[in-house]
Structure 1
């Protein structure tokens, strides 16, 4: 009997110790997940904050020089003041180019076919601790419909989902539920939607949510991160947007990406020289006065572009909204369009696709402050040129002054203009 009692005691002791160890392991695993999610978000945000701070300091110095030079120019016109202004603008452009080069180096990708639903589940496991282990926890409801795979860098895609989950969480101070939905939008596209129960965005806030220079005292680095995230998604040929829920309060981040077509074996990526512009039925030939449509949601940029081109002899009209631009294009014949790449309702690439279908012979150019290296090749094939801001007016005039849509178009690129078909290792 004493042996049986000793055995029972030992068994109870072993089970108690095993249960305690299991509980400790579960607690450690939960803490590890929480720390992983926090590290994934904070490491990027801290790096962005430091980058933004350094860039802001340098830009403020340049802007101070510009303001002082303009003050002197207002008091007394001297050619050297204009030369100094032009030099400062060039220095600002060089700073932006260095920042974009840093972005290229930081985002060396290894694109593979990434299963979206699997990545969502992995991301949720990483973020669950940060979501649920709070005074007001946030729980996630999954509504996954197996939309397939996308061509992306697996680690960056997982990081993107984690950070969008945590950004949505931060909108719900009292806790609540997030709903993550994946769907096949069409045979070519899928969507990932992360919907929160926070307050709806004001229209002005929604339009500037992805503005990297927006000042938000509550989350000063959020818009900068969202701008970087949008650029990341655009590198994969997709789009990241935010929208209010149509019924009731709440908002959602929506990631739209091209689906990987089911095929075996995978079709090889065509070399860059095989990317061609859309065929035209005849060479482009225009009158001496060219009708140009400028589409840019930034009012000052659009007005200045129209004024400069007007001085060059072009007949220019301006649209601050892609939908308005499409209506204007339908009502009147334009010979060329200059399209801002990033606009709230529709990107310049999407607008270019619409305009190309309507007018195959029109000259189309993207005008952007973004780095277009690595941009989706299908998008680049839609346009005849890409111009970087600050724009080289001489190169733009040479582009618009073309009278023949033949091989001469290949010679319109300059230091300020990215070619329409960059190499495979380029980065947007």
Structure 2
């Protein structure tokens, strides 16, 4: 016996004894005297004489050694292949005819939480109540069968009912590979979900770092742009206060002041867009009269309209219309809309602002007779960096952020903003709707002074002020301007010199830049506060850094106020008169 190596009865003996034909049976070995083994099969048939007695046996042997060797080699190969498949770390399937599962490995059962009983001899697309009926997988296997070609790293993104979303790489090949009509498909499945999720997290971290660097760049850019604007604005204010130079100088100064203001607004808008992306814009709401709050925005564009020959019409209601809003941000909204209307209206055109109450809403309409907006651009006009290009021969103006900022601020107030235009050359109308505040909010803050005009009279001034800035032009021009207002001024261009000057000149107030090379303004303020009498000095940050973190750090360092360059002189003098002790 081939299996147990035990001797077995010869078929001739049984044929003689039993008088009938006997087969040798399977897996029999014929062992010669020299030990040579041959696999055999055959039978023995009894021979009867004339009297019907068994007189002999016919023995028929067939040597099947080569066949048995081939069968055993195949069995070993199959066993070897099964062992390999079972030890693979990734799920693996062998599919037979009609794409039925011939076998699967342990990784497949473990990964997809199925059993061999539920898997083997089952059509692949019927597994798990059809959860493997994936269109991409059908397409893949059809190509393998039809083209008799292997498929490598075919990515499938599929959500399984019990496992959730999985991203898999599929590799399939026909088997046997050399056959023109293969009867099986080998399918390897690699679950790359963790790797993809890790890559997505890494990409998200990279984007967050890029965004952080972008915001840092914008803050630094704003700081660097504001620094040269500060002495320009101070110098223009000195020219205005000196009253010298005649009409040409006056008109030129007004033009330069408008451009400085426009540059400052562009810098502020850039930073506001960055804050919006980080979700950092906070509103300081109070109950305000809409018309009163918007007068400063109107005055800011009126001189520009006169300069470029535009007619500006303003219509406010006879009765106050109150809203619960941040007056600074609301002025920014209307200022952006008016500025936008002026930029895109030709010389001799008309721009109008109207405020009215309509069924529980305050409605602000800004209309112009300018270049209009093409119909296909209307749905995208409030998108970030969107700029209307109504005419190819007109140079585009602006950064494409003003209207996006308007939309965000209005919606943050609980309102809506829309636009209408009949098309190119037909002008445009922007409509803002805000909820009306019907009753005073007793918990609100006192009315903001942000809407006051720079033309209001400056309070009488006195006192000793030290201006500290490493930008010498900025320090000297601001000191000169404060001198015109009646203050005694001194300047220092670095932190160490300033700290040494304080005990000698005993200033009542210090205007201190933040970004200085030898010692930043925060450290200068802290050291001044440590000096004898330093706690009594009014210290105001005057810096190109305008983000919230800079203000918070200024508060922590001991500053009494924070102003962003270029400073409106009226804002500075009001701040000084409000916080300097009486009689100074």
Give the TM-score of the pair, scaled to structure 1: 0.40
Q: Which has the larger radius of gyration?
A: 2
Give the TM-score of the pair, scaled to structure 2: 0.30
Between Structure 1 and Structure 2, which shows a larger proportion of strand residues? 2
Between Structure 1 and Structure 2, which shows a larger proportion of helix residues? 1
Greater relative contact order, per chain length (Cα 8 Å cut-off, separation 6+): 1
